[in-house]
Amino acid sequence: MRSVYSPAGSKAPPTDIRGMHQFRVAALGLALTVLTLRAAAPESSALHGTAHVGTRTAPNVVVWLDAPNLPRAVDRRTVVLDQRNLDFWPHVLVVRVGTTVDFPNNDRVFHNVFSFRDGKVFDLGMYPVGALKHVTFDRAGLSRIFCNIHPGMAAYVMAVDSPLFAVSDQSGTFTIAEVPSGAYQYHAWRPGAPPLAGTWSATTVAPLAIAWP
């Protein structure tokens, strides 16, 4: 058998050329797959907007986007509608359908929280300071929240079948984070006013302007 001369200290040439070729093909295929997945993944951006009533800024405006193709996972974050100083905090709350809301009594007196029409119907009964009760909002719609002991207390919980929603702050501004690219139907609601609806696209540069006359 003929031997191959290899100088001392030098490395022998690779003998499995076919194996190296297969490895390179596999690595190239993996790289192309990663690039394809990155290209297919939807880009997202934040939707910024303002809400007005006439010339005045409008706080407590609920804005949400229809997004039937997004995952329907329930929001597991702790959501609280507090009771303090004979009032509900916040006054307007928006949640995704299926979300459980905590109703702690952090006031100095007993409360009896209930809702009797439209959205979620419930009555938590009378409960003392420091107690905590829960309600799961399992259907879309508006729930008007009251206290059976203190008629001046009122709040609103809007349950929406979408993960894309926000409530305007005291300056009338709102932000819906991580909106996938595309065109959407939007909805807006505020206490004591008719709902509004329209279309919005992620390619729009200007903020979304919600306005009641």
DSSP letter string, 142-161: EEEEEESS-TT-EEEEEEES
With contact defined as beta carbons under 8 Å apart, do 163 and 75 qualify?
yes
Domains 43-70+162-213 and 75-161 share a fold: yes
Query: Please, what is the Cα angle at 119 between 188 and 209, to 5 degrees?
Result: 5
**pLDDT tens over the chain, length 213 residues:** 444 444 555 554 454 555 555 545 454 454 444 344 344 445 889 999 999 999 999 999 999 999 988 887 767 789 999 999 999 999 999 999 999 999 999 999 999 999 998 889 999 999 999 999 999 999 999 999 999 999 999 999 999 999 999 999 999 999 999 999 999 999 999 999 999 999 999 988 899 999 999
Domain map of the chain by residue range?
43-70+162-213, 75-161
- Its pTM stands at 0.79
Q: Specify whether domain 43-70+162-213 bears CATH 2.60.40.10.
A: yes
Superfamily holding 75-161: Cupredoxins -  blue copper proteins (2.60.40.420)
